[in-house]
Structure 1
Amino acid sequence: MSSRPVTSPDRIYRSPAGIAGGVVLLVLGAWLGADAVISGTGRTPWLALAGLLFAVPLVVAFTIRPAVFGNEDRLRVRNPFRVITLPWATVASFRSGYSNEVFDEEGTKYQLWSIPVSMRARRKAQRLPRQRPSRRGQEPTEQEQAPVDRRAVGDKSMDELRELCEARAKATTSKGEPSVRWAYEIIAPAAAGAVLLVILVALG
């Protein structure tokens, strides 16, 4: 009886703020679009449908879709219009500046959309005390003596990915070739909506 290798579950990194913003935009768009389709006259319902066909995939692409998945074998980056798969052996470095990025061995850069950089969060984290304050008149507990992690959430995520890459880069199962797949499920409906909008506007 042959045994198959067990793949570890993915660590998933997403932006809660981005997802929340996307849901709000989709609800607002659905409300306005439905009102235009039901109550509109002339070409208005068709323009509303074309606008939704164009806008909804883009909203999903830039807010809800982005995610980074990491397990013991590879890093998978789901950006608005592409899915990049990088076995750990092909990852050269990570960089955090005004955006979070990963580089492969050939120097190709891929942005990690789902791990945004917040300069405000960094400054706030740096202002945190190094230790938790102890209760007045009492010896600090072990928990109070423990240092506070001063890193921003995005920086913590990047450090976790760096550690995972360093630990797994030489593993046999972490070898392979990088792959990039275009997200046609996003591109196709958005392009169709754009073409339909242009046609409707041109027809006057």
Structure 2
Amino acid sequence: MTSPTPPAEPTYADRTFRSPAGIVGGVLLLLLICWIGGDAVFRGHGRVPWLALAGLLTAVPLVVAFTLRPVVLANEQRIKIRNPFRTITMPWTAVADLRAGYSSELFTEDGTKYQLWAVPVSLRQRKKAARQQSRQAVGDPHGRTSVHADVRDDMSRMATADRTMADLRELVERAKTKAGAGSGKSSDSSASSVPSASSAASASSVSVRWAYEVIAPAVVGAVLLVVLFATG
């Protein structure tokens, strides 16, 4: 009689973190660029349409890269950081720390730092949240208005970036706790020592992919602009 197969752990959709202000600003900027560039392409004379096309080929990918592209995708196993020109994927076990000072940053176990473009830090919003928190604090001589103010006591009063980083830290702690429990069970059996070491090595791997779909057209457009201006 075979033993029943244990049910697999449920998989959950990625949690998405991105900047709504960046998206709105990017869409408006794209509309403005396309309006001006399209008008120059269809109504311009001589070299103007070609200059407009080269300018559009340069500007549109860069605007998309810095406004619409950045996003952080996180689930129970790993985090995926999509920055303007790179996409970084790593398991939570490779994450050493997450900090939000003047920008949001992730540090790996080997000391490498990656910036989270999708989680911008608003010092004004943070100071406002810190002031609201300080009103309920007793005997706080500093007012807690530092850019590194810790307002984790009340999630509803935290700045958006700090709230996002707190959520990510919770995922890190949960994943490392689960990994520690799993390694503790595997260490009880000498036969599983080799698979455990290999799984630990794979867990610490970090994948970095360059966004050539953004870099290539922007470089081509910039080269065309240089050529057109040089031959003009």
Fold equivalence (TM over 0.5) = yes
Q: 1:7 Cα deviation (Å)?
A: 3.0
Report if aligned partners of 2:70, 2:82 keep a CA contact under 8 Å in 1: yes
Output the amino acid matched with 1:73.
Answer: Q
Report if aligned partners of 1:37, 1:48 keep a CA contact under 8 Å in 2: yes
**Corresponding position: 1:165 with 2:169:** no
**Equivalent residue, structure 2, for 1:201:** 229
The change in CA–CA distance for 1:110 and 1:148 in structure 2 (over 3 A counts) is closer
Output the amino acid matched with 1:77.
Answer: I
Q: 1:150 Cα deviation (Å)?
A: 2.3
**Corresponding position: 1:117 with 2:124:** no
TM-score normalised by length of structure 1: 0.86
**Corresponding position: 1:61 with 2:65:** yes
SS in 2 for 1:56: helix
Whole-angstrom distance in 2 between the partners of 1:50 and 1:177:
39
Report if aligned partners of 1:128, 1:148 keep a CA contact under 8 Å in 2: no
Q: 1:126 Cα deviation (Å)?
A: 1.9
How many residues are paired up?
188
Q: 1:193 Cα deviation (Å)?
A: 0.4
Match of 1:37 among 18, 38, 41: 41
Report if aligned partners of 1:13, 1:157 keep a CA contact under 8 Å in 2: yes
**Corresponding position: 1:190 with 2:218:** yes
Q: 1:106 Cα deviation (Å)?
A: 0.7
**Equivalent residue, structure 1, for 2:23:** 19
The change in CA–CA distance for 1:195 and 1:71 in structure 2 (over 3 A counts) is same
**Equivalent residue, structure 2, for 1:134:** none
Whole-angstrom distance in 2 between the partners of 1:4 and 1:44:
61
**Equivalent residue, structure 1, for 2:56:** 52
SS in 1 for 2:80: strand
Judging by fraction of residues, say which structure has more helix: 2
Matching of residues 36-185 of structure 1 within 5 Å: 36-128=40-132, 149-169=156-176, 170-171=178-179, 175-185=203-213
Output the amino acid matched with 2:31.
Answer: V
* RMSD (Å) for aligned C-alpha atoms: 2.1
Whole-angstrom distance in 1 between the partners of 2:22 and 2:46:
36
Q: 1:151 Cα deviation (Å)?
A: 1.1
The change in CA–CA distance for 1:74 and 1:55 in structure 2 (over 3 A counts) is same
SS in 2 for 1:60: helix
Q: 1:8 Cα deviation (Å)?
A: 1.7
Which stretch shows the higher mean deviation, 164-173 or 41-50? Answer: 164-173
**Equivalent residue, structure 1, for 2:151:** none
Output the amino acid matched with 2:159.
Answer: A
TM-score normalised by length of structure 2: 0.76
Whole-angstrom distance in 1 between the partners of 2:9 and 2:85:
31
Q: Which consecutive residues of structure 1, in runs of 5 or more, have no partner in the other structure? A: 132-146
